[in-house]
Amino acid sequence: MASLELSRSPLRSRREPEVCSAGQDKYSVLLPTYNERENLPLIVWLLVKSFSESGINYEIVIIDDGSPDGTRDVAEQLEKIYGSDKILLRPREKKLGLGTAYIHGMQHATGNYIIIMDADLSHHPKFIPEFIRKQKEGNFDIVSGTRYKGNGGVYGWDLKRKIIRLYRKEVLQKLIEKCVSKGYVFQMEMIVRARQLNYTIGEVPISFVDRVYGESKLGGNEIVSFLKGLLTLFATT
């Protein structure tokens, strides 16, 4: 029988995708929470719905930082409802910051891809299958959601930097090692470092919905801290 020669398509990145032990892709969603008692059940329900409808292998890692409003209690109920193989509770005693929450979450994640998003319904999980499709399409190391391209957009004017991204697990681990900033600047820094390390980044248009639109959040504060963060990155990377 003649042997087939498979030529590498020029779009493929030089990295071969790692698969988890079952030989199949698994997607771990990291949800750091602080006082999200109201939103957590809703975001988990939407995540389960999106993943189940698309037949995607997933798990949700909830990293609660000792929320005083009973978020952990709600998380435990969700674990009972959906199973501890799908809902992983990995809480911490007190508020320890976003970067360490991701590190902590990743140590317990069994997927080979990590999805980072906010637990407050600002991004709808319905976009996640599109992220996954996009990642496979371009063999990207990172896929980020954008409100500015395609049919992306917003409802409500919350200027806070909300990020939803899909990473290969080893890429996220490497980036977290390299990043030094705190808070939302850290999310921006990850993209800067990713470009420096020549990781490939894809984008998917998403809509951002401010659920409690009506309360004025258009504060000059956010603009100032964004600019400060930008200038810090400019001077340090």
Partner 1 sequence: MTKLVQWLWGLAILGSTWAALTMGALGLELPSPYREVLWPLPAYLLVSAGCYALGTVGYRVATFHDCEDAARELQDQIQEARADLARRGLRF
Nearest approach in angstroms of CB 45 to partner 1 is 4
- Name the residue nearer to partner 1 (CB basis): 86 or 211: 211
Residue 209 in the binding site for partner 1 (CB under 8 A): yes
Residues between 114 and 173 that touch partner 1 (CB under 8 A): 121, 124, 147-148, 151-156
Alpha helical stretches, state H, the chain: 39-54, 71-82, 98-108, 128-138, 169-178, 183-196, 220-236
**Which residue in this structure is represented by tokens 């892709």?**
25
Cβ atoms of 201 and 141 within 8 Å: the answer is yes
Tokens 């919350």 locate to: 158
> Closer CB to partner 1, residue 17 or residue 129?
129
For partner 1, the binding residue among 2, 4, 6, 235 (CB under 8 A) is 235
Instruction: State CA 17 to chain mean position distance.
Output: 19
**Residue 236 in contact with partner 1, rule: CB under 8 A:** yes
Q: From the list 11, 12, 69, 77, which residue makes contact with partner 1 (rule: CB under 8 A)?
A: 77
Question: Closer to partner 1 at the Cβ: 34 or 45?
Answer: 45
Name which position in 207, 222, 225, 226 contacts partner 1 (CB under 8 A): 207
What DSSP string describes 110-172?
--SEEEE--SSSSB-GGGHHHHHHHHHHHT-SEEEEESSSTT-EEES---S----EEEEHHHH
* Separation CA 30–CA 133 (nearest Å): 19
List of residues contacting partner 1 (CB under 8 A): 41-42, 45-46, 74, 77-78, 80-81, 121, 124, 147-148, 151-156, 207-209, 211, 213, 234-237
